[in-house]
Chain A
C-alpha cells in the first residue's frame, strides 16, 4: 500500500519567517504534486515534479523532489498571511492512481 506521510501537520508562524513542509514515502512515485486548499473549496495545483532531484521555484515557494523519487519538500521563504491554508502533497505511479498526504495546515500571523 502506498502511503504519503506529511510533516508537520500543523504550523503556526509569524509573518516573515521561513518554513519547510515534508512529504515522505517508502514507495517510488512517477511524480509528486503539491496542492493548496482554501476552506470550502477543492485543492488547487501549485506544482508537479517528475524528475529525481528536481527543484522548482514559484516566487517564494521552492519545491524539491528527492533523488530516489520517494520524498518531496516545500519551502516557503518570508511567509505572508496570504500563504495561510492547507498544503497537500500527492503522488502518482504508473497506474494513474493519485494518493494524498494528510496535509499541513499553515497559519501565518501578521
Chain B
C-alpha cells in the first residue's frame, strides 16, 4: 500500500472556526491533491501542489487554502468553516511519467469526514 495518511479521520467543528487537515506521504511523489466528495458530485478538486511551495487552485477552492512546506506534507485549511464545507475530504498523490507526459496512478488517503455544525 502507498504510504499516504490523513489526519484527523473524523472531525466535528463549529461554524466559523478554523480547521486544518493534514496529508502526509512517504512516497516522495511530486503531486499532491485535495478533493472533497459529496453525493452526486464525484471528487471535486480543491487545490493541488506540483512541488514544495508550488500550489494551484482547483474547481472549488473558495474558502480553502493550502500549504506545502515539505515534499511529504500538504495541509488544507478552512479559514472559517461553514456548513456547506461538511464533506468527506480525500488527499491523493501521484507522479509524472511517460514521454507524452501524464499522471501515473493516483493513490488516495483513507479520507477525513468533516462535519460543520
Contact = CB atoms under 8 A, between A and B. Distances in A.
B75 interface: no
Which bucket holds chain A's interface residue count? 20 to 34
A44 B110 CA distance: 11
Given A41-B110, A42-B110, A43-B108, A100 B45 contact: yes
B59 A98 contact: no
Contacts of A40: 111
A95 B50 contact: yes
A42 B92 contact: yes
Given A33-B103, A98-B48, A99-B45, 12 more contacts: A30-B100, A31-B98, A40-B111, A43-B43, A45-B105, A48-B105, A95-B50, A96-B30, A97-B58, A98-B31, A99-B59, A102-B40
Interface of A: 1, 6, 9, 30-31, 33, 35, 40-45, 48, 50, 88, 90, 92, 94-103
